[in-house]
Copies of this chain bind each other. A is one copy, B any other.
């Protein structure tokens, strides 16, 4: 087991009606002037924003509002929020929404606490020294941003999608009421489940030995998400299934499954270029590239993929040919993705990258040949292009 630091101070308040505690929680963590940040109209129509406003007012909290955050959240919206917060003297940012809204809030918080343009952090030009406190009321189980240290923003100039991670941006609190996810369209529910599973698998497919503890947790959480995703395809208002998936989404990405383990993240990095260029849904993009990534890496550690096949997908072990078992596991997961109406190839996303676009994505993903991605098999620019082609 490798040395590690684990630090996840987010206070989670989970369950029915918990959004009523939002104002109190902001007070608890020292907020006085709040930016209420959200996405589209569904939180307004459902009455959620009304309940949140009432909770802020009950605590006597002053607030300003900024809606309109889009999936693959945009840098221009971050700048808009930053201007507003600076003008209004905001000292606490409340994100009501999913990963996009929370990440947009984190980027605003970085800008507010550090000055200048927060895009600098995403481009590696400087390191953040703090972040204005963030809280989240989660409405989509997917990105795990409510407990993670991660923040992914898309710059419309050049459609560059980049992540930045630091503990400063971890939410002070996360309010999670599974009922708030009842009205999500089937497609978004499925995308969310895939995203959650990918956060687990990016940590699970490790070159490291000696990972029994995190392996077992990862395998059981994966099985739980699959079981409950199937229930939600038929019964979207099943409270327990929504609850299991929502909490799994936080555990998948809060760091507990990374402890002592070298991570992978190849699928995520390849997908970031795809959704940066074509604006596809993140979860669907992940499903479209995952199988190709696994098949491309398989020969470097077939026994790892065989363990996945046996312990997660319920495949019988073929001890004389672990690779056969491994491939059967990958195919079984792809069948599961199809059950959720998720793509397993890029063309099923409705986009067909040209060879030129593939080379552009590989170039961006490798930062112009300056980095590799992936744990079990580190992928260089040529490997990335090869995987994109496999996944077409």
Contacts and interface: CB of A to CB of B under 8 A. Distances in A.
Copy number in the complex reads 2
Nearest to A21: B5
A217 to B, nearest CB: 5
A212 B241 CA distance: 10
Interface stretch (A85-93, A134-142, A221-229): A221-229
Given A14-B259, A227-B212, A1 B221 contact: no
Contacts of A213: 220-221, 224, 244, 247-248, 251
Residue picked from A3, A15, A213, A217, most chain B C-beta under 10 Å: A213
Contacts of A210: 240, 243-244
Residue picked from A212, A244, A247, most chain B C-beta under 10 Å: A212
Interface in A35-52: none
Contacts of A4: 12, 14-15
A221 B212 CA distance: 9
A216 interface: yes
Interface string A1-36: 111111111011111101000000000000000000
Interface string A192-231: 0000000000000000001011011101110110011000
Given A1-B240, A1-B243, 17 more contacts: A3-B18, A6-B11, A7-B9, A8-B8, A8-B9, A9-B9, A9-B11, A14-B259, A210-B244, A213-B220, A213-B221, A213-B248, A216-B217, A217-B220, A217-B221, A219-B220, A251-B256
List the 5 closest pairs (A to B, CB-CB), nearest first.
A216-B220, A3-B15, A9-B9, A6-B12, A1-B243
